[in-house]
Structure 1
Amino acid sequence: MNRPFSFRTPLNVTYWVTFGGGCLRRAILALAIASTVQAYMISGTSWPSGDIPLQLQLGAPAAPLLDGSTHWDDVAISALNRWNEILGRARFSGVKNSNAGRDYPNVFNNVFFSSTVYGDDWGDRVLAITLRRSRGSNTAEADVLVNSKESWNSYRGSLRSSVRDLERVLAHEFGHVLGLGHPDEAKPAQSVAAVMNSHVSNVYTLQPDDVAGANALYASGIGAPVATGSLTDQTITAGSPLTLTFAASGTNVTYDWTFAPSTNATQRELLDGDGERWSAASFSLFSAQPSDSGTYSVLARNAAGASTVSTARVTVTPVSMANAMLANLSARGRAGTGSETFIVGFVVTGKTPKPVLVRAIGPTLSGQGIQHPLADPRLTLFRTVDGASSTVDANDNWSADAATAANLRAAAQRLGAFALPDGSTDAALLVTLEPGVYSAHVDSQGGAAGITLVEVYDADQQLSDSLTHKLVNVSTRSFAGAGEEQLIAGFVVGGTSPKQVLLRAVGPGLKSRGVTDVNTDPNLTLFRGTNAIADNDDWAYSNQTDLLPAVFTRVGTSQLDPDSYDSALLITLPPGVYTASAAGRSGETGVVLLEVFEVAE
Structure 2
Amino acid sequence: MPQIQIQTFSRISTATGTGSSASSPSPARSDPSAHDLTVDFHPPALHPDPAALIFLPATLPAQLYQPGDIVENFTLTDRATGKPVSLHDFEGSIIFLEWFAHWCPFCQAAAARTVSDIDQYYHDLGGNPDGIPVVHLHLNLQGGQEAQTQAFIDFFHIGRVLNDFEAAVARRFQSGGQPIFAIINGVAASPSHKQWELLYSHLGYGNLNQPITTFRSVIDSVKAGAVTAPEPPAILRHPLSRTVPAGTNVTLAVEAGGAGPLAYLWKKDEEPLPDATAAVLDLGAVEASDAGDYSVTITGAGGTVTSRRARLIVADPIPGRIVNLSVRSRVDGGGSPLIVGFVVEGGARPLLVRSVGPGLAAYGVADTLEDPTLTVLAGGNTVAANDNWSDTGAAALTQAFRQAGAFDLEAPGRDAALLTELAGAHTVHVNSRDATSGTVLTEIYDLGADDEGARLVNISARNVIGGGDDTLIAGFSITGNTPRTLLVRAVGPSLAQFELTGFLPDPVLRIFEQTTDGDILFATNDDWEQEANADAAHSAVPGAFLLQSASTDAALLLTLPAGSYTAVVGGPAGSTGEALIEVYEVP
Partner of 1:331: 327
1:411 aligns with 2:400: yes
State the alpha-carbon separation in 2 of the partners of residues 227 and 380 from structure 1: 55
| Displacement over 6 Å in runs of 4+ | 38-48, 50-54, 184-187, 196-200, 224-229, 319-322
State the alpha-carbon separation in 2 of the partners of residues 522 and 206 from structure 1: 28
Tell me which amino acid in the other structure corresponds to 1:599.
V
What's the secondary structure of 2:390's corresponding residue? coil
**Aligned 8 A contact 1:555 1:597 in 2:** no
Partner of 2:47: none
Distance 1:287 1:232, change over 3 A: closer
State the alpha-carbon separation in 1 of the partners of residues 357 and 262 from structure 2: 59
Partner of 2:543: 556
What's the secondary structure of 2:495's corresponding residue? helix
1:357 aligns with 2:352: yes
Deviations 1:177-231 (A, max 9, x none): 8xx63449889xxxxxxxx99999xx974579xxxxxxxxxxxxxxx99989952
State the alpha-carbon separation in 1 of the partners of residues 425 and 71 from structure 2: 68
**Aligned 8 A contact 2:345 2:456 in 1:** yes
1:509 aligns with 2:498: no
Distance 1:205 1:381, change over 3 A: same
What's the C-alpha RMSD, in Å, of the aligned pairs? 4.5
1:487 aligns with 2:472: yes
What's the secondary structure of 1:463's corresponding residue? coil
Tell me which amino acid in the other structure corresponds to 2:307.
S
Instruction: Choose the corresponding residue for 1:531, options 517, 520, 530.
Output: 520
Distance 1:362 1:573, change over 3 A: same
Deviations 1:361-389 (A, max 9, x none): 111212222221111111110013xxxx2
Partner of 1:400: 391
Query: How far 1:499 moved relative to its partner?
Result: 1.1
Unaligned runs of 5+ in 1: 1-30, 55-82, 90-136, 139-172, 188-195, 209-223, 248-253, 257-278, 289-315
Query: How far 1:36 moved relative to its partner?
Result: 4.0
Distance 1:335 1:513, change over 3 A: same
Query: How far 1:327 moved relative to its partner?
Result: 0.3
Partner of 1:540: 529
Distance 1:405 1:240, change over 3 A: same
Deviations 1:248-271 (A, max 9, x none): xxxxxx536xxxxxxxxxxxxxxx
Counterparts of residues 139-178 of structure 1 (less than 5 Å): 176=190
Partner of 1:591: 578
Query: How far 1:423 moved relative to its partner?
Result: 2.2
1:574 aligns with 2:561: yes
Query: How far 1:322 moved relative to its partner?
Result: 7.4
What's the secondary structure of 1:558's corresponding residue? coil
Partner of 1:380: 375
1:453 aligns with 2:476: no
**Aligned 8 A contact 2:509 2:525 in 1:** yes
What's the secondary structure of 2:394's corresponding residue? helix
Tell me which amino acid in the other structure corresponds to 1:393.
A
Counterparts of residues 187-586 of structure 1 (less than 5 Å): 205-206=229-230, 230-234=277-281, 243-245=295-297, 254-255=300-301, 279-280=303-304, 283-287=306-310, 323-337=319-333, 339-351=335-347, 353-384=348-379, 389-401=380-392, 404-433=393-422, 435-460=423-448, 462-465=449-452, 468-482=453-467, 484-529=469-514, 530-551=519-540, 554-586=541-573
**Aligned 8 A contact 1:481 1:588 in 2:** yes
Deviations 1:69-92 (A, max 9, x none): xxxxxxxxxxxxxx99xx989xxx
Deviations 1:345-373 (A, max 9, x none): 1011123x321110001112122222211
Tell me which amino acid in the other structure corresponds to 1:357.
L
Tell me which amino acid in the other structure corresponds to 2:520.
N
Distance 1:431 1:53, change over 3 A: farther
Structure label with greater radius of gyration: 2
Query: How far 1:233 moved relative to its partner?
Result: 2.5
How many positions carry a matched residue from both structures? 363
Query: How far 1:562 moved relative to its partner?
Result: 2.1
Distance 1:391 1:35, change over 3 A: same
**Aligned 8 A contact 1:41 1:181 in 2:** no
State the alpha-carbon separation in 1 of the partners of residues 466 and 582 from structure 2: 17
Distance 1:246 1:412, change over 3 A: closer
State the alpha-carbon separation in 2 of the partners of residues 184 and 350 from structure 1: 67
State the alpha-carbon separation in 1 of the partners of residues 573 and 123 from structure 2: 40
Query: How far 1:518 moved relative to its partner?
Result: 1.1
Query: How far 1:42 moved relative to its partner?
Result: 7.0
Partner of 1:181: 193
Identity score, percent: 33
**Aligned 8 A contact 2:464 2:576 in 1:** yes
**Aligned 8 A contact 1:505 1:567 in 2:** yes
What's the secondary structure of 1:346's corresponding residue? strand
Distance 1:358 1:48, change over 3 A: farther
What's the secondary structure of 2:451's corresponding residue? helix
State the alpha-carbon separation in 1 of the partners of residues 553 and 262 from structure 2: 40
- Give the TM-score normalised by structure 2: 0.53
Distance 1:42 1:255, change over 3 A: closer
**Aligned 8 A contact 2:122 2:133 in 1:** no
State the alpha-carbon separation in 2 of the partners of residues 320 and 197 from structure 1: 65
Tell me which amino acid in the other structure corresponds to 1:488.
I
**Aligned 8 A contact 2:92 2:188 in 1:** no
Query: How far 1:340 moved relative to its partner?
Result: 3.0
State the alpha-carbon separation in 2 of the partners of residues 496 and 207 from structure 1: 38
What's the secondary structure of 1:495's corresponding residue? coil
**Aligned 8 A contact 2:388 2:417 in 1:** yes
What's the secondary structure of 2:485's corresponding residue? strand
